[in-house]
Amino acid sequence: MRKHAQLVLAVSMASFGAVLILTAFFVPPLGLIDPTVLTAFGEILTFSGAVLGIDYKYQSKE
């Protein structure tokens, strides 16, 4: 159950990051992604990877 919840959390966060990037195309200035959006997307993906990666590391030691 916990592993499933972590997977859902990681996928939903990565999806939110992708939506954030796509939304940046439709707000002024059109077609330009602000560096802060890219930074936020990178942090979201890093956290998503950490949620899955830390759990995998501890499970593989058992």
φ, ψ at 26 (rounded to 5°): -105, 0
Based on C-alpha coordinates, what's the Rg of the chain? Answer: 15
Q: Which alpha helices (DSSP H) does the chain contain, by range?
A: 2-24, 35-61
Q: What is the pLDDT of residue 16?
A: 85
10: pLDDT confidence band, cut at 50, 70 and 90?
confident
Q: What is the pLDDT of residue 6?
A: 76
Instruction: Count how many Cα atoms sit within 13 Å of the Cα of residue 2 in the half-sphere of its side chain.
Output: 5
For the stretch 12-53, pLDDT in tens is 888 888 888 888 878 888 777 788 888 888 888 888 778 777
54: pLDDT confidence band, cut at 50, 70 and 90?
low
Contact 21, 37 (CB under 8 A): yes
Q: What is the pLDDT of residue 23?
A: 84
